[in-house]
Amino acid sequence: MSVASPGTSDVAPAVLAEYGAICRQALQGYLAVQADRGAEYLGAAVRDYPGRGGRSLRASLCIAVARVFGAATEDAVRTATALEMLHNAFLIHDDIEDASEERRGQPTLHRLHGVPIAINVGDALTVLSLRPLLENRESLGLRVSLRVLEEAERMARETVEGQAIELGWRRENAVDLGEQDYLRMVLKKTCWYTMIFPLRTGALIGTRDGLDLDEFVRFGFFLGAAFQIQDDVLNLIGDQKQYGKELAGDLREGKRTLIVIHAMNQATPAERARLTAFLSLEPEQKVARDLIWVRELIERTGSIEYARHVAHGLAGAASLEAERLFRDRPEGRNLQFLRELPRWVIRRS
Amino acid sequence: MSVASPGTSDVAPAVLAEYGAICRQALQGYLAVQADRGAEYLGAAVRDYPGRGGRSLRASLCIAVARVFGAATEDAVRTATALEMLHNAFLIHDDIEDASEERRGQPTLHRLHGVPIAINVGDALTVLSLRPLLENRESLGLRVSLRVLEEAERMARETVEGQAIELGWRRENAVDLGEQDYLRMVLKKTCWYTMIFPLRTGALIGTRDGLDLDEFVRFGFFLGAAFQIQDDVLNLIGDQKQYGKELAGDLREGKRTLIVIHAMNQATPAERARLTAFLSLEPEQKVARDLIWVRELIERTGSIEYARHVAHGLAGAASLEAERLFRDRPEGRNLQFLRELPRWVIRRS
């Protein structure tokens, strides 16, 4: 059965809701301790982003994979919760680094509390994520717990390296970039923590370290890259209220999305020069007239359609990988969720 | 033999030089990998602060305590190196949070590369510190390695909580503070990672988790508080070149040092009102005339002398703790270093 077949039911929202609720409860438990322990200036700020909702995609993926490989939900909850904490830590620091104004429909944390406090709250969430990973010991034992920690170290390292590449491109106003550069950056910045880590640790927990985890990298890369490209598209054409961030924020922030890279490479020399100059400006220097011009250039070069085409191809490749990776796993909701995921990441709004 | 006796030799500089060199070499090894692994925008920036020198006090303390409790230097080097990485990560984020201009005699990292890249480099050093802690497994085994990780989680948590208190005081322009508030903040912000963690993990590694580590908290608190107060004093009266940070930076940044708290509580109502208004200003709003006035107020209230007096008392209490904690440990350079440390922290310039 092909994953992309039209007959598949929509199990993804139900699975996300179920596992998301479990992880949110666990997360609130860990973060409540923070306030009780006399961290009088930290508690509320640490709970802010996690309390704004979100789909718990990463946490749900980790649990679903663990279950597909035979674990109980309980065995994966701590790892999934740690990942949600780290995700929120990344968001807080990313929002400062990108000078973003909104997150999940509300002002970003640094706009509420200032940059110094927001940096520290991000650091706090990073630190707090270690607690559930250390408590894994209770259900997974010493050896598997330490393996999960090794996976977390690798994942966090890939993420900061990906972030460094994106920030370096902006700092240097890099314009000679191609699709391969973009995909390598996204592999590190997005795919590793959003998809590859949950896949690897889910399998690790489910099999008690009985599989070659490198088998999961391609699936996670295809899924994560499709996910990021869809995010880039939504930033330009989405419903702002549903999307929760300011529209065209990526353009204002000078991000090298696949769309911008494609437009740059399709543009005439004169357009290329103007786009290069636009990208070099600080966010607050970018005026509406130029933003509209860039938006029109993107239309003219067909860059959004191109990005959608690439995302579709990646989702198709992910579907094939899912079939291969999980072919001998028992049928059920968790497996169905994994099969639906490639289609879900490019259809979400 | 009393630690403060004038006859004691100066073994501290020699021990710091020896263990510091070992840890710097290990650190460079870990950070070199970072550059080779294709993190093209991260390598040099990650090595910047660690390459600027520093005394490796924290790392040396960890190794000395481990050796006093019977471990080989090699057993403690990974933990000591991880601590140095975290220390540099804290410095990078602190420098942004404090809007500091200089670190170890050179421009702060965010002044060189901008705030976004500096935040990410701090995050990178935090992540990289996990690697040596995970590699502890090779020499210490699973159980003790996981115990060290638990200690690291506690330490990092105390540090971000302490940082949150200091930032919260500035954000709210808190002025109703006393010595106890200051000491509690410093216990978390400075003492835990500078002294208590190296003491606890040194003993943990030396005895393979055979001691009650809470025994070391008082010694670490006395030592660390004396260390921080001496740092606050040096910020006002030190030799800028030797100190490596801009003089009176604490005043410009509105830090609630013991000196400022004492001056506030000794001042007349009119002076108190003026000092309160001064502290509420952003660093760039503070003019030279007001800085000079605050400096004179601090002279008039005898606040530097008072802070020195408190630091001296803390160092004396630390000496007594050292005698108690290490009384049955074998004589030698490491024990002598621990005995000298209380005097060293208040005499350093």
Distance CA A228, CA A232 (A): 6
Mutate to test the interface with B, among A42, A91, A197 (most CBs of B within 10 A): A42
Distance CA B205, CA B196 (A): 14
Distance CA A81, CA A133 (A): 9
- Predicted confidence at residue A68, as pLDDT, reads 98
Q: Which residues of B touch A128 (CB under 8 A)?
A: 157
Q: Which of A130, A159, A165 sits opposite B41 (nearest CB)?
A: A165
A321 to chain B, closest Cα gap in Å: 27
Burial of residue B321 (CB within 10 Å: 0-12, 13-18, 19+) is buried
Is A124 in contact with B149 (Cβ distance < 8 A)?
no
Mutate to test the interface with A, among B37, B40, B41 (most CBs of A within 10 A): B41
Tell me the average pLDDT across A154-164: 96
Q: What is the DSSP string of A40-101?
A: TTTHHHHHHHHHT----HHHHHHHHHHHHTT--HHHHHHHHHHHHHHHHHHHHHHHHHTT--
Q: Helix, strand, coil shares of chain B as percentages rounded to 5?
A: 80, 0, 20
Q: Which of A96, A153, A165 sits opposite B131 (nearest CB)?
A: A153
Phi-psi region of A148 (alpha: psi -120 to 50; beta: other; left: phi over 0): alpha
Percent of chain A with pLDDT over 90: 86
Nearest 10 degrees: CA dihedral of A325, A329, A334, A336? 70
**Contacts with B, A 111-130, CB within 8 Å:** 113-117, 119-121, 123-124, 126-128, 130
Mutate to test the interface with B, among A95, A161, A169, A188 (most CBs of B within 10 A): A161
The answer, for B163 touching chain A at a CB cutoff of 8 Å, is yes
Helix pair B115-128, B73-97: axis angle to 10 deg: 160
**Contacts with A, B 250-269, CB within 8 Å:** none
The answer, for B239 touching chain A at a CB cutoff of 8 Å, is no
Locate B98 and state its tokens: 């404090």
Backbone phi, psi, residue A103, to 5°: -145, 125
The answer, for B146 touching chain A at a CB cutoff of 8 Å, is yes
Angle formed at CA A205 by CA A200 and CA A209, multiple of 5 degrees: 80
The alpha carbon of residue B23 and the mean position of all alpha carbons in its chain are separated, in whole angstroms, by 17
Picking from A133, A205, A193, the residue whose alpha carbon sits closest to that of residue A158 is A193
pLDDT of residue A241 exceeding 70: no
Is B124 in contact with A164 (Cβ distance < 8 A)?
yes
Q: pTM (2 decimals)?
A: 0.94
- Predicted confidence at residue A7, as pLDDT, reads 44
**Contacts with B, A 169-188, CB within 8 Å:** 170-171
User: How many CA atoms does the CB half-sphere of A311 hold within 13 Å?
Assistant: 28
Contact B123, A97 (CB under 8 A): no
Q: Which residues of A touch B31 (CB under 8 A)?
A: none
Q: Where are the alpha helices (DSSP H) in chain A?
A: 12-36, 43-51, 57-68, 73-97, 109-113, 115-128, 130-172, 179-186, 197-207, 217-237, 240-243, 249-252, 258-266, 269-280, 288-300, 303-325, 333-347
- Predicted confidence at residue A1, as pLDDT, reads 38
Q: Provide Rg for chain A, Cα atoms.
A: 20
Segments in chain B below pLDDT 50: 1-7
B295 to chain A, closest Cα gap in Å: 26
Q: Which residues of A touch B48 (CB under 8 A)?
A: none
Angle formed at CA B173 by CA B168 and CA B174, multiple of 5 degrees: 75
Q: Which residues of B touch A156 (CB under 8 A)?
A: 127, 130
- Predicted confidence at residue B3, as pLDDT, reads 44
Distance CA A317, CA A122 (A): 35
Give the chain B residue whose CA is nearest to the CA of A99.
B116
Query: Positive or negative CA dihedral for A138, A139, A143, A148?
Result: negative
Tell me the average pLDDT across A185-196: 98
Picking from A9, A16, A10, A6, the residue whose alpha carbon sits closest to that of residue A198 is A16
The answer, for B157 touching chain A at a CB cutoff of 8 Å, is yes
Tokens 């007594």 correspond to what residue? B320
Picking from B37, B33, B40, B109, the residue whose alpha carbon sits closest to that of residue A167 is B40
Distance CA A143, CA A208 (A): 9
Q: Which residues of A touch B119 (CB under 8 A)?
A: 93, 96-97, 119
Domains of chain A with CATH codes: 12-347 (1.10.600.10)
B153 to chain A, closest Cα gap in Å: 6
The answer, for A44 touching chain B at a CB cutoff of 8 Å, is no
- Predicted confidence at residue A46, as pLDDT, reads 94
Interface pTM, i.e. ipTM: 0.94
Q: Which residues of A touch B157 (CB under 8 A)?
A: 124, 127-128
- pLDDT tens across A80-98, in order? 999 999 999 999 999 999 9
The answer, for A38 touching chain B at a CB cutoff of 8 Å, is yes
Distance CA B125, CA A341 (A): 34
pLDDT of residue A6 exceeding 60: no
Is B164 in contact with A120 (Cβ distance < 8 A)?
yes
Q: Which residues of B touch A159 (CB under 8 A)?
A: 127
- pLDDT tens across A102-129, in order? 999 999 999 999 999 999 999 999 999 9
Say which DSSP state B69 is in.
Answer: T
Q: Which of B127, B152, B165 sits opposite A160 (nearest CB)?
A: B127
Q: Which residues of A touch B97 (CB under 8 A)?
A: 115-116, 119-120
Q: Which of A41, A131, A156 sits opposite B164 (nearest CB)?
A: A41
Contact A59, A84 (CB under 8 A): yes
How far, in Å, are A96, A247, A286, B122, B142 from residue B118 at the CA level? 11, 27, 24, 6, 34
Query: Positive or negative CA dihedral for A200, A126, A58, A164?
Result: negative
The one-letter amino acid code at A123 reads D
The answer, for A213 touching chain B at a CB cutoff of 8 Å, is no
Distance CA A95, CA A314 (A): 27
Q: Provide Rg for chain B, Cα atoms.
A: 20
Distance CA B203, CA B76 (A): 10
